[in-house]
Amino acid sequence: MTGPYNTGESMDDIHLRWRHTALITGWAAVILGLGHVACSGDAPERIDVGVGDEGAEVDADVGTSNNTDLIGDTKGDYLDVEDVSVMADVNASSEPDDAGDSDVSGDVSPDVGPEQEAGFPFDWYCYEAVDGQVSFDFEIATSTSSYTVIPFSLDEQGWIDPQKIATPSGATIDFYGDNFFQLYGLEYPEIQWINAITIPAAPKFEDQLESGNHTMEVHTEVDEVCYYLIETSGMATEIDFNIYFVGLDDIGLNAQTAETHDDFQSVLSSFEQMYEQVGLSLGEIRYVELAQPVVDAYRVIHDEWDIYELLAHSTYPGADVDSALSVNLFITERFVYEPVGLSMGIPGIPGYHASLVSGVALTGEYIGDNPDDNLFTAVAMAHEVGHFLGLFHTSEADGQSHDNLDDTPECYDFDQIWDCPDGQNVMFPFIHYDTTELSSDQGSVLHVNPLTK
């Protein structure tokens, strides 16, 4: 593997340019500093406030696959990928469509809640906090392969701090112990009101998956904590996408031309090759057209807030669970700040759309330059989608922090970046034309996410 692209910078300058790569140890320190607070006080009142599509089932499972080196070293260009571990926004706006059928035992304003545009298709429940503590029960079926529980603040304010889950066997899933990495999003004030907890989070935690009644404990400063639950079963094989093009008409790429656009179809084909290593392929692809004023405002991305505002223009692809469980991908004309892509969460919040952090954003500036640059765009897409589905960097740029998987190589010396043993992995922190590999354990993480089905 060759070294970083020669821009005329010294290695110190290159390291400075890559300074925004998130360090796992820093996140862990912030989270662990919050302290472990046991729940106490009277049992909170349960308030049923939403009814979704109860008959829908999401198919997913823990899957594995052999590694395959798809593409060799073609060019030495490394670019920084800015990855901020932030969670998705509820962006409440309307009353549940089936509110009349709900078991409502408390007053909930009709203009709040995770009911956006076409309607939020999941059952969701709220509990009053008592002395800053909330404890709620949820049931996991015997057929479940994985589940994701998402606690959040109904008014999108304040912070919530998941403490632990008590399982039916009496075991504890401790978010200030072995599962601390699942709370990385809590560092960021804008998203401290929500988190997505997937069990099992990695193959080493498969024994944490149990059927029966579970109890989750949450520490909070808000008056009410809500949650919704997604259970998956079966073998996942596909990922559905909602793809938005923002200002790429100069290369003839928009919602109408995407299906026959050779360069973009090359990007999708290369992405699919990478994910097929772990048994996943492209599912339904929806190309969505944005209003011209939105395109004009966000075709050039200057900072993260541009991305947040752009993602708020995503829309629900349908009112059913299956449609909601899809990844929003925004591809813009270019980024003029350091990264080439941004994922809104590790993992992102499944099933949310039309919110400030609903999906993944990517620069499209390399599409069509040449076949290698189409591949580069595919690698960036694979990397950011990997984050949104729960994958962390194999190694962080400090050389001391690594993901929580047993079969991914680790790099300890980024001064010799070309010698890093994980330098060809999709989740290496600096993307390159040949960072195309996914491991068996990484495949397992992708398969338990409800966005794979």
pLDDT digit string, tens, across residues 291-320: 999 999 999 999 988 998 999 899 999 989
What pLDDT, on a 0 to 100 scale, did the predictor assign at position 239?
98
Span 57-67, average pLDDT: 30
User: Is 171 within a domain?
Assistant: yes
Instruction: Kindly report the CATH number assigned to the domain that includes residue 189.
Output: 2.60.120
User: Is 368 within a domain?
Assistant: yes
Query: Are 247 and 215 in a shared domain?
Result: no
Task: Name the residue range of residue 150's domain.
Answer: 36-62+95-233
User: Is 103 within a domain?
Assistant: yes
Percent of the chain with pLDDT over 70: 73
CB 330 within 8 A of CB 311: yes
Query: Are 338 and 366 in a shared domain?
Result: yes
Last residue of a domain, one of 206, 233, 260: 233
User: Is 216 within a domain?
Assistant: yes
Query: Are 176 and 311 in a shared domain?
Result: no
pLDDT, tens digit, 9 for 90 and up, residues 358-398 = 999 999 999 998 889 999 999 999 999 999 999 999 999 99
CB 75 within 8 A of CB 433: yes
What pLDDT, on a 0 to 100 scale, did the predictor assign at position 187?
62
What are the DSSP calls for 41-86, one per residue?
SSPPPEEEEE---TT--EE-----------S-------EE------
- Check whether 407 has a pLDDT greater than 90: yes
User: Is 155 within a domain?
Assistant: yes
Query: Are 226 and 263 in a shared domain?
Result: no
Query: Are 304 and 423 in a shared domain?
Result: yes
Query: Are 229 and 337 in a shared domain?
Result: no
What pLDDT, on a 0 to 100 scale, did the predictor assign at position 114?
53
- Check whether 75 has a pLDDT greater than 50: no
Query: Are 40 and 171 in a shared domain?
Result: yes
pLDDT, tens digit, 9 for 90 and up, residues 15-48 = 222 223 332 322 222 222 222 222 223 333 333 3
User: Is 126 within a domain?
Assistant: yes
Residue 286: what are its φ and ψ, rounded to 5°?
A: -110, 125
Predicted confidence band at 186 (pLDDT cuts at 50, 70, 90)? Answer: low
User: What's the whole-number average pLDDT of the chain?
Assistant: 78
Span 2-9, average pLDDT: 28
Long-range contacts of 105-111 (CB under 8 A, 24+ apart): 105/45, 105/46, 105/47, 105/48, 106/45, 106/47, 106/49, 108/47, 108/49, 108/154
Picking from 178-187, 244-253, 325-334, which range would have the lowest pLDDT averaged per residue?
178-187
User: Is 417 within a domain?
Assistant: yes
Predicted confidence band at 274 (pLDDT cuts at 50, 70, 90)? Answer: very high
Instruction: Kindly report the CATH number assigned to the domain that includes residue 418.
Output: 3.40.390.10
User: Is 6 within a domain?
Assistant: no
End-to-end CA distance of the chain: 35
Residue 390: left if φ>0, alpha if ψ -120 to 50, beta else—which one?
Answer: left
What are the DSSP calls for 320-342, one per residue?
SHHHHS-EEEEEESEE-SS-SEE
183/205 Cα distance (integer angstroms): 16
75/372 Cα distance (integer angstroms): 8
Predicted confidence band at 189 (pLDDT cuts at 50, 70, 90)? Answer: low
For the CA atoms of 207, 211, 213, 219, what is the dihedral angle to 10 degrees? Answer: 40
Tokens describing residue 309: 């505002």
pLDDT, tens digit, 9 for 90 and up, residues 227-272 = 999 999 988 999 999 999 999 999 999 999 999 999 999 999 999 9
pLDDT, tens digit, 9 for 90 and up, residues 89-140 = 223 333 333 333 333 233 322 233 454 444 789 989 999 999 999 999 999 9
Query: Are 248 and 149 in a shared domain?
Result: no
148/103 Cα distance (integer angstroms): 23
Q: Which of 229, 221, 230, 226 is nearest to 48 (CA)?
A: 226
Specify the higher pLDDT residue, 65 or 378: 378
- Check whether 156 has a pLDDT greater than 90: no
Query: Are 58 and 73 in a shared domain?
Result: no
Query: How many domains does the structure of the chain reveal?
Result: 2
160-166 and 238-246 beta bridge pairing = unpaired
Last residue of a domain, one of 207, 233, 259: 233
CB 158 within 8 A of CB 193: yes
CB 297 within 8 A of CB 312: no
Specify the higher pLDDT residue, 449 or 357: 449
401/403 Cα distance (integer angstroms): 7
Last residue of a domain, one of 167, 200, 233: 233
Query: Are 359 and 257 in a shared domain?
Result: yes
Kind and range of the H or E element at 126? strand 124-128
Predicted confidence band at 185 (pLDDT cuts at 50, 70, 90)? Answer: low
What pLDDT, on a 0 to 100 scale, did the predictor assign at position 3?
28
398/412 Cα distance (integer angstroms): 8
Query: Are 214 and 311 in a shared domain?
Result: no
Query: Are 99 and 130 in a shared domain?
Result: yes
Q: Which of 379, 381, 385, 389 is nearest to 425 (CA)?
A: 379
Span 402-424, average pLDDT: 94
165/152 Cα distance (integer angstroms): 16
Q: Provide CB contacts within 8 A for 371, sequence distance 6+.
A: 266
